[in-house]
Structure 1
Amino acid sequence: MQTGTVLISKVVAEGIRDGRITAQYRRWDAPRVKPGSTQLTAAGVVRFTRVAKVADVDRISDRAARAAGMKDAAALRRALTPKPDRKPSERGSKGGHTVYRINLEWAGEDPRIALRAQVPTRDELTEIAGRLDRLDRRPSGPWTRDILEWIRDNPQVVSKELAAIRGVELLPMKVDIRKLKALGLTISHDVGYELSPRGAAYLDSLPPR
């Protein structure tokens, strides 16, 4: 079950995965995640096990701060210090009046990893086609096949080149590619992307154009 989200960096997510990090602290007006809910991160799925108010930030110990991935309690308190000139963030640590401790644990691999390795059945190909058709229904016109074919032909090429070729802004295009990744069709790398076996099988199923 995924509800609200907590901004979790890749470094922190990897610490949660290997057990070094077992908590995070956030400044919120109200809890934004529930115990038992999960969130997908760069290192897999994280489960929130407890959410509690921190009565006195000054009493947070160095040990507790290190369990949150911070150097010591002083560093954690600095990170939690409100900044009046900063707008409240939906997921950040400075967006409210109350400090919460969120206990968490690693809950498993990113389910998209297993999905992208699966060659789709005929029924699954039909389902993928339907979902991509819905993504293509926007004023700017169809885009999913163009991006999938470009990634197939240009694996691990810096994404700004694709944005330039398509004449679109980089960040919205990356959001689009994440939608394809959520379907198990692409794989992200430090530089660029490549088609997953699932994505390649889908393209192979299409008639030539």
Structure 2
Amino acid sequence: MLLDRRTLAGIAEGSITQVLRRWRRPSVRSGGSLTTAAGVLAIEAVEPISEAEIDDAEAKAAGFASRDAALASLAGREGDLYRIRLHLAGPDPRLALREASELGDEEVGVLAARLGRLDARRAWTVATLALIAAHPGRRAPELADLIGRETLAFKQDVRKLKTLGLTESLEVGYRLSPRGEALLSKLPPR
């Protein structure tokens, strides 16, 4: 479930306690969690609802000024309507990972093994890290084009590296985290 910066800020400050979505099938489940730029979100409940159940109070809890604004945001989307109740459960664990600029041999071995598993079908991890290192702040479509990849697939790969604390998303583009720089400097080119 993708959440925009405004919604994440509202969840972090506590003014947004739910999200409204149309889905063919939910992409999160009750009791689960979601790691976001704002931190880890706890998914309290995922409930199918009808448009008739959305009033101004429901809309405001989802960050909208009114019922009409909430319904307008959902217009033109396919699927069933869901209310996802959530709250900020803690900080983004990737933040602490990213800052580790000193990597011991054991940690390098663990990370290299994780990259190896990601590379099982196609070797891409080290090349993507090197590409981001060479072009920090460059837009994802431009980076993807440099290596002949579709933008969406490229972004999905970068998110996998971000989960390991190796990359950081910028307002525009990406950069390697201190951990990513440290790892790249210790890996042989592939």
TM-score (norm 1): 0.76
1:115 deviates by 0.9
For the pair 1:193 / 2:174, whether they are aligned, the reply is yes
8 A contact 2:25–2:79 mirrored in 1: no
Listed one character per residue, the Cα deviations across residues 68-117 of structure 1 (whole Å, up to 9, x for unaligned) are: 11121233344456x5xx6xxxxxxx412xx5433211112221111111
Instruction: Specify the alignment match of 1:74 in structure 2.
Output: 68
Gaps of 5+ in 1: 1-5, 87-93
Q: Work out which of the residue numbers 78, 83, 87 in structure 2 matches 1:101.
A: 83
Question: Partners of 1:51 and 1:61 in 2: how far apart?
Answer: 18
Where do 1:3-152 residues align within 5 Å?
6-27=1-22, 33-52=28-47, 54=49, 57-58=51-52, 60-79=54-73, 94-96=78-80, 99-118=81-100, 119-138=102-121, 141-152=122-133
Instruction: Specify the alignment match of 2:136 in structure 1.
Output: 155
Residues 1:105 and 1:153: Cα distance change in structure 2 (over 3 Å): same
Give 3-state SS (helix, strand or coil) of 2:144's partner.
helix
Residues 1:120 and 1:76: Cα distance change in structure 2 (over 3 Å): same
Residues 1:156 and 1:29: Cα distance change in structure 2 (over 3 Å): closer
Question: Partners of 1:170 and 1:29 in 2: how far apart?
Answer: 24
1:133 deviates by 1.5
Instruction: Specify the alignment match of 1:3 in structure 2.
Output: none
Letter in structure 1 aligned against 2:8: A
Identity %: 44
Higher gyration radius (CA)? 1
Residues matched between the structures, number: 189
1:122 deviates by 1.6
Gaps of 5+ in 2: none
Question: Partners of 1:58 and 1:175 in 2: how far apart?
Answer: 36
After superposition, the CA RMSD in angstroms is: 2.7
Listed one character per residue, the Cα deviations across residues 8-50 of structure 1 (whole Å, up to 9, x for unaligned) are: 3332122111111012234568876444321123322111224
Letter in structure 1 aligned against 2:65: K
